Amino acid sequence: MVRKDLSAADPKREAINRQIEENLRKVYNETVSEALPDRFADLLAQLKTGEPKGNSENDR
Amino acid sequence: MTDKLNPREELVTLIPSMRAFARSLTRDHSAADDLVQDTIVKAWTNFDKFKEGTNLRAWLFIILRNTFYSNMRKGKREVQDVDGVFSGKLMQKPSQDSAMEFNDFKKAFSTLPDDQREALILVGASGFSYEEAARICDCAVGTMKSRVNRGRTKLAQIMEMSAEEIGAADASTLAVLSASTLS
């Protein structure tokens, strides 16, 4: 079996690393740039006008 | 610097990044939004515990992460990529090679263990330092670094493998073709 050189010095590996970084940012930004669902505006409005769902007992 | 946002106002601006982090943990759109909603409610009622001047995004991510793991322990909503957030099942035919590669990447990413996924998203995508990410995940900086490295290595292996598979498939097709011409 051929051993894969996974060291960063390998130019092929470097290219793959760069691609990984790019893709990770893309995965993240895909969600970040989405329009927020209405449920969050509703939730915030509810939170701003007083405590929702009964009294907000601290859980700790 | 102009007026500083108060934490409650700042929280609103951080919902998109909370959703992105939540999705990397849950791998499910609606579970992610439920998790963000729980996080917002918890944060809102615990703002007295937030130290002003510290990183609000990190504080929110800690709450989000703790909520996720405690829900998981309670067996609440454990989903295995049901709506294909990362495996890209929702995508129809990708129009280009790059879209195809990106879907393969998301699929590979979804197979990583939870701790490696969150490490890669925190350090690789949301721009936290190793130190901040380690604080968010309540682990040593060295542990965070090794999770990131293991995750990257695994992804690189999967990516190299799929490139090789294509190469190997071509090679075996050629072998079959040349063998048949020989006989």
Stretch 121-150 of chain B: residues touching chain A, C-beta under 8 Å? 121, 124-126
C-alpha torsion sign, points B145, B151, B154, B159: negative
Q: What is the pLDDT of residue B72?
A: 87
Distance CA B14, CA B104 (A): 28
Distance CA B31, CA B114 (A): 15
Distance CA A20, CA B18 (A): 21
Distance CA B68, CA A58 (A): 18
* Section B162-166 average pLDDT: 65
Q: Determine the residue among B12, B13, B15 to mutate to test chain A binding: the one whose Cβ has the most chain A Cβ atoms within 10 Å.
A: B15
Which residues, 6 or more positions from A14, have their beta carbon under 8 angstroms from its beta carbon? A8
pLDDT digit string, tens, across residues B101-153: 888 899 999 999 999 999 999 998 999 999 999 999 999 999 999 999 999 99
Q: What is the pLDDT of residue B62?
A: 97
**Which residue spans of chain B are classified as CATH 1.10.1740.10?**
1-85
* Section A2-13 average pLDDT: 61
Structure confidence at residue A43 as a pLDDT band (50, 70, 90): very high
Structure confidence at residue B176 as a pLDDT band (50, 70, 90): low
Cβ-defined contact of B41 to A31 (cutoff 8 Å) = no
Q: Which of A20, A29, A34 sits opposite B156 (nearest CB)?
A: A20
- Return the top range by mean pLDDT from B2-11, B64-73, B79-88: B64-73
**Which residue spans of chain B are classified as CATH 1.10.10.10?**
87-183
Cβ-defined contact of A31 to B160 (cutoff 8 Å) = no
Indicate the range of A11-25, A34-48, B84-98, B102-116 predicted with least confidence: B84-98
Q: What is the pLDDT of residue A51?
A: 58
Percentage, residues of chain B above pLDDT 70 = 72
Which residues, 6 or more positions from B94, have their beta carbon under 8 angstroms from its beta carbon? B100, B102, B103
Average predicted confidence (pLDDT) for chain B: 83
| Structural contact between residues B64 and B39, judged by C-beta atoms closer than 8 angstroms | yes
Q: What is the pLDDT of residue B110?
A: 93
Backbone phi, psi, residue A51, to 5°: -80, 130
| Structural contact between residues B144 and B133, judged by C-beta atoms closer than 8 angstroms | yes
* Section B9-31 average pLDDT: 95
CATH of B1-85, one of 3.40.50.2300, 3.10.105.10, 1.10.1740.10, 1.10.300.10: 1.10.1740.10
Distance CA B34, CA B89 (A): 21
Distance CA B105, CA B26 (A): 17
Structure confidence at residue A13 as a pLDDT band (50, 70, 90): confident
Q: Which residues of B touch A50 (CB under 8 A)?
A: none
Minimal Cα–Cα distance from A32 to chain B, Å? 5
Distance CA B140, CA B25 (A): 20
Minimal Cα–Cα distance from B170 to chain A, Å? 19
Cβ-defined contact of A34 to B23 (cutoff 8 Å) = no
CATH fold label, B87-183: Arc Repressor Mutant, subunit A (1.10.10)
Q: Which residues of B touch A26 (CB under 8 A)?
A: 102
Q: Which of A13, A26, A33 sits opposite B102 (nearest CB)?
A: A26
Q: Determine the residue among B70, B122, B126, B149 to mutate to test chain A binding: the one whose Cβ has the most chain A Cβ atoms within 10 Å.
A: B126
Structure confidence at residue B58 as a pLDDT band (50, 70, 90): very high
Q: What is the pLDDT of residue B35?
A: 97
pLDDT digit string, tens, across residues B27-45: 999 999 999 999 999 999 9
More confident residue, B84 or B116: B116
Cβ-defined contact of B15 to A34 (cutoff 8 Å) = no
Q: Which residues of B touch A27 (CB under 8 A)?
A: 20, 24, 86, 105-106, 109, 121, 125
Distance CA B101, CA B81 (A): 19
Question: Could you tell me which of B168, B145, B154, B143 has the C-alpha nearest to residue B112?
Answer: B154
Identify the closest residue of chain A to B150 by CA–CA distance.
A6
How far is the CA of B127 from the CAs of B3, B17, B35, B85, in angstroms?
A: 24, 11, 21, 21
Residue B63 in tokens:
């709450």
Question: Could you tell me which of B40, B47, B53, B58 has the C-alpha nearest to residue B134?
Answer: B58
CA B178 to mean position of chain CA atoms? 45
